[in-house]
């Protein structure tokens, strides 16, 4: 008989076999076809024998690959503070680098069991915007059924360690304002860093819905910009990560500065054509893919040409 923990892990990591008190899964980090990642529930450790990924807490795997529902089942809901009445608490402004954020009061994952009027409406809204259930699921999106954030789709963001570092709250009922997001310094956080692989090219977009449209490895800058002292910039430079810039068509000036900054640091930059659409979120998926594929390399003389074109 599989234990409750084993059932949750199978849901998150897929089928496994048991050997000497350990569970052996296909590793989600290296995607090796053989089941070489061992998870030891008694010792609360895990390790992949192919790529050497390892950790001292299985909580991490649940946070990284599980849905909000899985987190709850695993008993991590306390950490996410679903029921906390103080919906957002800030850490001490002085000296504390990491701000503590809690999900708003009344947060329920969109795919929680049972029927709910608010969830149905939120799901309908997301599907209407062209997001399929798998995308909604992977983004751990939820909804608030009461409180200040009632009537809003919530998309939570988790930092490298799997701790909540931000969320967006978008109305699905035409309320004002459209977005109600926590006031957090965007220079020191990366939206859903937990799911970002800096060893592969990343796509920089404006908003969370744009990032959802792109799918994997897209980072929204949330109306902010990128400067040399920002955490996102540090990560890109230390990993030499190639970058695709896919900002809104009207963000010309900002885009130019960002491209220039990356080029100065020797980072490969490609510019994705976003013309003809209000934003990436309104582009059909095929168009997004095609435009990323045909992005313009900004290295060499291309950037210069672009500048000349603007002056002319």
Binding site for Zn ion (CB under 5 A): 27, 29-30, 48, 50-51
- Report whether 91 contacts 101 (CB < 8 A): no
Integer Cα distance of 186 and 272 in angstroms: 23
Q: Among residues 27 and 222, whose Cβ is nearest to Zn ion?
A: 27
Q: Among residues 27 and 221, whose Cβ is nearest to Zn ion?
A: 27
Integer Cα distance of 63 and 76 in angstroms: 9
Q: Among residues 51 and 263, whose Cβ is nearest to Zn ion?
A: 51
Outline where the chain has alpha helix (H). Answer: 4-13, 58-65, 68-74, 77-80, 117-128, 133-138, 208-214, 231-239, 252-264, 285-293, 302-311
- Report whether 284 contacts 276 (CB < 8 A): no
Q: Among residues 27 and 280, whose Cβ is nearest to Zn ion?
A: 27
Q: Among residues 50 and 184, whose Cβ is nearest to Zn ion?
A: 50
Closest approach, Cβ 203 to Zn ion, in A, equals 24
Closest approach, Cβ 260 to Zn ion, in A, equals 37
**In b/e form, how buried is each residue of 196-208, taking b as 16+ CB within 10 angstroms?**
bebeeebbbbbbb
Integer Cα distance of 153 and 135 in angstroms: 14
Integer Cα distance of 118 and 269 in angstroms: 42
Closest approach, Cβ 35 to Zn ion, in A, equals 10
Q: Among residues 50 and 263, whose Cβ is nearest to Zn ion?
A: 50
Integer Cα distance of 263 and 244 in angstroms: 12
Residues 6+ apart with CB under 8 A from 136: 110, 111, 123, 126
Check residue 99 and report its DSSP letter. Answer: P
Q: Among residues 61 and 267, whose Cβ is nearest to Zn ion?
A: 61
Closest approach, Cβ 51 to Zn ion, in A, equals 3
Closest approach, Cβ 225 to Zn ion, in A, equals 35
Closest approach, Cβ 27 to Zn ion, in A, equals 3
Strands in 37-40's sheet, in edge-to-edge order, are: 16-19, 22-25, 37-40, 45-48, 54-55
Q: Among residues 26 and 274, whose Cβ is nearest to Zn ion?
A: 26
- Report whether 265 contacts 211 (CB < 8 A): no
Closest approach, Cβ 46 to Zn ion, in A, equals 10
> Pairing mode, if any, of strands 107-109 and 142-144?
antiparallel
Closest approach, Cβ 28 to Zn ion, in A, equals 8
> Pairing mode, if any, of strands 218-220 and 202-205?
parallel
């Amino acid at each position: 008989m599989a234990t409750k923990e084993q059932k949750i892990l199978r849901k998150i990591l897929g089928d496994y076999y048991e050997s000497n008190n350990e569970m052996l899964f296909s590793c989600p980090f290296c995607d090796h076809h053989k089941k070489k990642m061992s998870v030891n529930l008694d010792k609360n450790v895990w390790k992949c024998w192919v790529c050497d990924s390892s950790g001292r807490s299985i909580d991490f795997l649940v946070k990284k690959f599980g849905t909000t529902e899985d987190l709850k089942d695993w008993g991590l809901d306390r950490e996410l503070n679903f029921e906390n009445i103080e919906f957002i608490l800030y850490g001490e402004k002085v000296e504390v680098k990491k701000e503590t954020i809690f999900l708003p009061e009344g947060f329920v994952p969109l795919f929680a069991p049972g029927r709910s009027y608010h969830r149905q409406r939120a799901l309908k809204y997301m599907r209407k915007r062209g997001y399929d259930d798998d995308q909604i699921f992977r983004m751990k999106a939820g909804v608030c059924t009461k409180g200040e954030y009632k009537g809003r789709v919530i998309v939570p963001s988790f930092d490298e360690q799997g701790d909540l570092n931000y969320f967006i709250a978008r109305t699905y009922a035409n309320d004002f304002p459209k977005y109600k997001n926590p006031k957090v310094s965007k220079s020191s956080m990366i939206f859903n860093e937990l799911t970002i692989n800096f060893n592969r090219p990343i796509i920089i977009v404006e908003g969370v819905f744009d990032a959802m449209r792109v799918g994997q490895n897209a980072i929204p800058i949330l109306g902010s910009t990128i400067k040399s002292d920002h955490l996102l910039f540090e990560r890109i430079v230390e990993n030499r990560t190639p970058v695709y810039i896919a900002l809104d068509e009207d963000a010309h000036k900002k885009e130019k500065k960002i491209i220039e900054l990356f080029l100065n640091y020797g980072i490969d930059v490609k510019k994705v054509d976003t013309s003809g659409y209000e934003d990436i979120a309104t582009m059909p998926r095929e168009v997004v893919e095609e435009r990323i594929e045909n992005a313009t390399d900004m290295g060499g003389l291309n950037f210069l040409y672009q500048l000349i074109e603007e002056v002319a």
